[in-house]
Structure 1
Amino acid sequence: MSVKVNITSKGIQKVLKNYNEKQAIAEYIWNGFDANADTIEIDYTANALGLLESLTIADNGYGINFERLKQKFDPFYESEKSLQIVAPKHTSKMHGRNGVGRLTFFTFAHDATWQTTYQAEKGFRSGEIHISTGGLNSYSHDFNTSPTAMDNTGTTVSFTNLRIGEQEMKELVLPYLINEFCWFIELNKHKNYSIVVNGEALDFSTNVKTLEEFNLFYPDTAVTFKIKYVHWKENLHKELSKYYFLTGGEEIYKDYTTLNKKSDDYFHSIYIDSDFFRDFDFKSFENEGQVAIFGAAKSSPEYRFLIKELTAYLKEKRKPFLKEYANRLIDSYEQDEIFPIYANERDKQLKKPKLVNLLKALYEIEPKLFSSLNTDQKKTLMHLIDLLLHSDQRVQLFELFNGLMELETEEYDELASLLLDKDMVGYTTGS
């Protein structure tokens, strides 16, 4: 049986045009986890030329219920707006956004076939769904009307007429999947979630720079928070850096950490497990004075204590990372010839070290100052700072940076020592 609906195949591709093959394959994995699967198996074979001859993605989730097939597929085709994909903000459940991503196979294949088994009232039932790139606005399906001999649910998607190579899978797709799912696998580690490629589980630890576990204890009410901190080597794509609040290993809520989006590539996740979150009201504002009727809220002293301690912890963890990246910034500026050209070697030896030290200090305090600058802007900024640094305008330069950044006492003193004379430091800080 074939079903065709309103939006055109080209309209679907237009809406999903920002997807590439890496993101599309990730969506099929998210669909599996959304279906309560704990294992996703990716299998592929290549020919002598290195092009893929077959690719399947299988999960052991609850399958696609034939009785709700129209609800699953038809809404995607009603309008272009219905195809817009919006990631959930405060939960990791339904990350695949109700399966919209199943239409993105056109980025790497011509045809996709779903073979699925689901639990019906009178036993297991199986069926098949087919969609082709030339007709993304229609699908054909064939489901058994009687129970099958299968004894487990799950879905296998087979892709044919592939436009992707084995080298691309190994060098681009699989590293992308590690960065995409590492935080999620860690979140569900107690459930033994895994992604298996050609019989071998993906090693998500390859993206772990540091992992630490410890407890925070709030003595006034004897509340304990079990903390797991992970510093990732590379970015987590759209997930960014977040707190994950759990009870008994189950995620209750998630939100951005206080050091998220600082433009410094410090990618991290904090997993917090405590019975304290069992009836917690995460929708309340942190500065509310009222107490939740049931359970605790963000205004509670326990929560304020937790966030304060974790913020201080993250700042300490971030410091050596920023020093490392400040040195990388200097190296890149040297390589790209960003620093000013001095009149002679004596001038260079006298002035450049002060500029380099100031640049490092500024980056460690506020990396965002140096993000999104093109080469000409970088050169202009360095030239301007260098001129002011070696003139009688250093006080104004200090006041400029002091106004642009939120400085802690230690940072304030360090910046002042780099920009001002010793006598001026005492006068400026009011000490």
Structure 2
Amino acid sequence: MSENVNITSKGIQKVLRNYNEKQAIAEYIWNGFDANADVIKIDYVSNELGRLDSLQITDNGYGINFDRLKQKFDPFFESEKAIQIVAPKHTSKMHGRNGVGRLTFFTFAYNASWNTTYQDEKGFHQGTIQTHAGGLNHYEATEHSNADQKTGTVVTFTNLHIGQLDFEQVVIPFLINEFCWFMELNKHKNMQVLVNGKALDFSTNIKSTEEFELVYQDTGFRFQIKYVHWKESLHKELSKYYFLAGGEEIYKNYTTLNKKSDDYFHSVYINSDFFRDFDFKSYENEGQVALFGAAKSAAEYRFLIKELNDYLKNKRKPFLREYADRLIDGFDQDGIFPKYITDREQGLIKPKLINLIKVLYEVEPKLFSSLSIDQKKMMIRLFDLALKTNEKEGIFNLLNEIVQLEDDDEKELLAVLELSA
């Protein structure tokens, strides 16, 4: 059968313009995991010129049901507004965009063909779907009489415009960072992504990891914690708490240190029977009370979040100190600091200024992010001027208005400014 999608091919490309080849390939892997696959195979062949001749992505998921084919390949676009690539907020299930992700191949190939096997109450069925970048609004679907006795999908891409070097040095590292948190979340399921038969090593993005247990003594509830500090960004996933029961994800949410402009990428996996009947939406729907199980107002939950927040802050401090040292080195190289003429200024004022900058960076890295060279010079030299003119109390009062200082941060800042508490 032949079907047309309700938008022009150029219109589809315009809607999907936020996708590049890395994100598009990731979409096909997400499609496999969304179909309950536990093994994704990426196989490619390159030619003597270093270009990819073919690329296949295979999954052992439940396949594409031809009775719902129109839903999968006929996405409805209300406008030509570009689709944003957004990760699900509170669940890791159904990550890929139904229908939309299957049309992103135009970013790296001209032709795409799906060979899929699915099962329904009548047995196993097999079929092929084909489309190309010049006609994204049109696809050909053919059902076959003979079907394999196991479900899955093989997507084959040809007429590729991506090189082997880019695929191995750009796409593969991107996929490791895209899926490392998800593979850690599902580690008990032994999921794999194989590239030309070799399993991707997602641990290459791990900077450090730690496992421990928290116990709420009053009720005896135990929480098994796994903390992972990542080397590089998790893309749209960001830093989150994952709440699990029996190893299965129940809910996820951002940690309090997410998006602090300091490149502290982390995930915290919390496994406990406490979450089996937990009402995570009780605070979102004000006035509602959990009829069964516990809610966010429970003493156990408040204890858990406080302990984890304190834990993350302690883990973040040495990381911020390391980055603060790099910030100071960068300021020196870029000529941000004032020129100190006398030995007294060089030996007395500059060290105080450096200590002030380090403390402020540890308290609120955003103060120093996205600033131009001139803006950095102005801010640092105003601090320098205030230190020289003994306007230390003025600095403290100003910063206390801009930044929410916790007790420990306030004490440290007062000490650096040589002010009494």
Residue 40 of structure 2 corresponds to 40
SS in 2 for 1:179: helix
SS in 1 for 2:98: helix
Instruction: Report the CA distance between 1:186 and its aligned residue.
Output: 0.2
CA distance in 2, matches of 1:358, 1:78: 52
- Structure 1 residues 128-147: aligned runs within 5 Å: 128-144=128-144, 146-147=145-146
Residue 64 of structure 2 corresponds to 64
Residue 239 of structure 1 corresponds to 237
Contact 1:56-1:156 within 8 A present in 2 as well: yes
CA distance in 2, matches of 1:344, 1:156: 72
Contact 1:118-1:124 within 8 A present in 2 as well: yes
Aligned residues between the structures: 421
351-360 or 170-179: bigger deviation? 351-360
CA distance in 2, matches of 1:6, 1:87: 26
SS in 1 for 2:194: strand
Instruction: Report the CA distance between 1:224 and its aligned residue.
Output: 0.7
CA distance in 2, matches of 1:250, 1:30: 18
> Which of 209, 213, 216 is the aligned partner of 2:214?
216
Contact 1:288-1:299 within 8 A present in 2 as well: no
SS in 1 for 2:282: coil
1:70 partner letter: K
- Structure 1 residues 168-317: aligned runs within 5 Å: 168-285=166-283, 292-317=290-315
Residue 103 of structure 1 corresponds to 103
Residue 414 of structure 1 corresponds to 412
CA distance in 2, matches of 1:110, 1:40: 22
Contact 1:7-1:78 within 8 A present in 2 as well: no
CA distance in 1, matches of 2:161, 2:272: 47
Residues 24-64 of structure 1, C-alpha deviations (whole Å, 9 max, x = no match) = 10000000000000010001111111111111111000000
> Which of 329, 334, 337 is the aligned partner of 2:335?
337
Quote the RMSD (CA, aligned, Å): 1.8
Residues 102-132 of structure 1, C-alpha deviations (whole Å, 9 max, x = no match) = 1111111111111111113232111111110
Contact 2:14-2:82 within 8 A present in 1 as well: no
Instruction: Report the CA distance between 1:412 and its aligned residue.
Output: 1.5
> Which of 163, 166, 183 is the aligned partner of 1:165?
163
CA distance in 2, matches of 1:119, 1:82: 35
SS in 2 for 1:22: helix
Residues 169-225 of structure 1, C-alpha deviations (whole Å, 9 max, x = no match) = 111101100000000000000001111101110001111111111111111111111
Instruction: Report the CA distance between 1:147 and its aligned residue.
Output: 4.7
In structure 2, the gaps of 5 or more residues are none
SS in 1 for 2:74: helix
1:62 partner letter: Y
- Closer/same/farther in 2, CA of residues 417 and 232 from structure 1, 3 Å limit: same
Instruction: Report the CA distance between 1:331 and its aligned residue.
Output: 1.4
Contact 1:5-1:77 within 8 A present in 2 as well: no
1:139 partner letter: Y
SS in 2 for 1:401: helix
Residue 377 of structure 2 corresponds to 379
SS in 1 for 2:75: helix
SS in 2 for 1:311: helix
Instruction: Report the CA distance between 1:404 and its aligned residue.
Output: 1.8
Residues 139-162 of structure 1, C-alpha deviations (whole Å, 9 max, x = no match) = 111112x452x1211001111111
- Closer/same/farther in 2, CA of residues 86 and 207 from structure 1, 3 Å limit: closer
Instruction: Report the CA distance between 1:351 and its aligned residue.
Output: 2.2
CA distance in 2, matches of 1:81, 1:384: 44
- Closer/same/farther in 2, CA of residues 289 and 217 from structure 1, 3 Å limit: farther
SS in 1 for 2:324: helix
CA distance in 2, matches of 1:181, 1:24: 14
Residues 77-121 of structure 1, C-alpha deviations (whole Å, 9 max, x = no match) = 675469665532100000002242111111111111111111132
CA distance in 2, matches of 1:15, 1:343: 58
SS in 2 for 1:175: helix
132-141 or 77-86: bigger deviation? 77-86
Residues 307-333 of structure 1, C-alpha deviations (whole Å, 9 max, x = no match) = 011001111111111111111111121
Identity in percent: 69
SS in 2 for 1:97: coil
Q: TM-score with structure 1 length normalisation?
A: 0.94
1:129 partner letter: I
Residues 249-289 of structure 1, C-alpha deviations (whole Å, 9 max, x = no match) = 11110000111111111100010111111111100118979
CA distance in 2, matches of 1:290, 1:34: 32
Residue 318 of structure 2 corresponds to 320
SS in 2 for 1:75: coil
Q: TM-score with structure 2 length normalisation?
A: 0.96
Contact 1:6-1:79 within 8 A present in 2 as well: no
Instruction: Report the CA distance between 1:368 and its aligned residue.
Output: 1.2
SS in 1 for 2:389: coil
- Closer/same/farther in 2, CA of residues 313 and 83 from structure 1, 3 Å limit: closer
